[in-house]
Amino acid sequence: MIDTKQIYNQFEKELDQVSSASELETLRIKYLGRQGIMGSLFLELKDLPQDQKQLLGPAVNQLKKQIEEAIGSKTFTPSTKPDTTTTKIIEGLPKYGHLHPITQTELQLNQLFSHLGFSIYNGPIIETDEFNFQRLNVPLDHPARDMQDSIYIQEPKYLLRTQTSAIEARLLAQEKPPFKVAFPGTVYRNEKVNRSNHFVFHQYQAVVVDKGITMKDLIGTIDLMFKTLYGPDVVVRYRCKYYPEVEPGLGPDMQCFQCKGKGCPLCKGAGWIEMGGAGLINPLVLKAAGIDPKIWRGFAFGMGLDRWAMANFKITDIRTLLGGNLAYKPYLK
């Protein structure tokens, strides 16, 4: 018999003993990872008679939610005792190195979504056509494939992922709703490099599947991202966009931080910078993952993390991020 109260009590004891971010991540994987305790509970629940499923299902889902929220709200008090060994080694030496602007921006967003109760996820860079395209409502003959200029490892089956939505496809196939998950990742497309585009770039994606999800939840989450990174006065607009994996779809644009909307080479004269794509998850995508769209709804968005970092550090050329010219250094936080 599944005893959710006993499991949570044990989790609380272990959480109280956590004293660092790395220990917290280890605990998160133990309980919320793909092969963690919660995953085992859902598998066990799947094999129970229907009457027991109806009785225990809500309790198991609530347990997962409580664990996610507890991990997301965990904070640490810095130790006042210095590491004397390390201090002796570095004493008197100048400080070298810094976190990359993309890494700093990624960590800011990870912290935001952890506080919102999201789990942080990951997935493979070398992906299959099935998860990169087909499970996202992009069949073999879909014109959207032509826009992504894929880099194949072994055509037509294996390629470097062109979007973090491939991680979303795996998440939907492996996890049982409800869930809230965010994940940064590197993606690759055969594109011409210029001020605002690169063939190697980064995205930040979030996926929520639950009952009663609406466009209001999506826009509210994206608004919070913008205000967290750029302050309450950030100027954002939303345009209707088409993406096969969502319905309806939208794209958030931020007023260009370089020209303040007047038009410049960075924003290609538009006054606005496209920051990503989003929408409510297409019912066909949910069905492909075995999720009933009559019960569950969700939203997903993928943001161009490079552009978010550029705006965060006032970097006007994306090539700076992956080159040896540290032109962004004066803006480091």
pLDDT digits 0-9 by tens, 171-214? 999 989 999 999 999 999 887 777 667 788 899 999 999 999 99
Which has more pLDDT, 15 or 97? 15
Which has more pLDDT, 73 or 261? 261
Number of domains present in the structure of the chain: 2
Q: With bands split at pLDDT 50, 70 and 90, how would you rate the model's confidence at 226?
A: very high
Q: With bands split at pLDDT 50, 70 and 90, how would you rate the model's confidence at 59?
A: confident
Provide, rounded to the nearest whole percent, the portion of the chain with pLDDT above 90. 45
Instruction: Note the pLDDT tens digit of each residue in 148-176.
Output: 688 889 888 899 999 999 999 999 999 89
pLDDT of res. 332: 53
Half-sphere CA count of 40, side-chain side, radius 13 A: 9
Which has more pLDDT, 113 or 87? 113
Which has more pLDDT, 221 or 75? 221
Residues 37, 121, single domain; the answer is no
Residue 140 is assigned to a structural domain of this protein: yes
Instruction: Note the pLDDT tens digit of each residue in 124-155.
Output: 999 999 999 999 999 888 777 776 688 889 88
The continuous run of DSSP H or E covering 131 comes out as helix 129-132
Q: Does the pTM exceed 0.75?
A: no
Residues 58, 134, single domain; the answer is no
Which residues are CB-neighbours of 245 under 8 A, at least 6 positions away? 136, 137, 138, 165, 168, 279, 281, 282, 285, 300
Residue 94 is assigned to a structural domain of this protein: no
Q: With bands split at pLDDT 50, 70 and 90, how would you rate the model's confidence at 328?
A: low
Residues 150, 277, single domain; the answer is yes
Contact 157, 134 (CB under 8 A): no
Residues 71, 181, single domain; the answer is no
Q: What does the mean pLDDT of the chain come to?
A: 85
Q: Which two tokens stand for residue 105?
A: 């921006």
CB contact burial 242-258 (16+ within 10 A = b; e otherwise): ebbbbeebbbbbbbbbb
Is pLDDT at 107 greater than 70 in this prediction?
A: yes
Residues 125, 33, single domain; the answer is no
Q: Which two tokens stand for residue 14?
A: 């272990």
Residues 326-331 have a mean pLDDT of 57
Domain final position from 59, 76, 93 = 76
Residue 89 is assigned to a structural domain of this protein: no
Residues 287-298 have a mean pLDDT of 96
Residue 84 is assigned to a structural domain of this protein: no
Residues 126, 166, single domain; the answer is yes
Residue 82 is assigned to a structural domain of this protein: no
Residues 52, 107, single domain; the answer is no
CATH of residue 218's domain is 3.30.930.10
Residues 168, 308, single domain; the answer is yes
CA distances from 38 to 60, 136, 181, 218, 221 (A): 8, 26, 15, 26, 26
Residues 239-252 have a mean pLDDT of 94
Which has more pLDDT, 30 or 144? 30
Residues 47, 144, single domain; the answer is no
The boundaries of the domain holding residue 49 are 4-76
Q: Exposed, middle or buried: residue 93 (CB in 10 Å: 0-12, 13-18, 19+)?
A: exposed
Residues 127, 50, single domain; the answer is no
Residues 66-77 have a mean pLDDT of 75
Residues 148, 22, single domain; the answer is no
171 dihedral zone (left: phi>0; alpha: psi -120 to 50; beta) = alpha
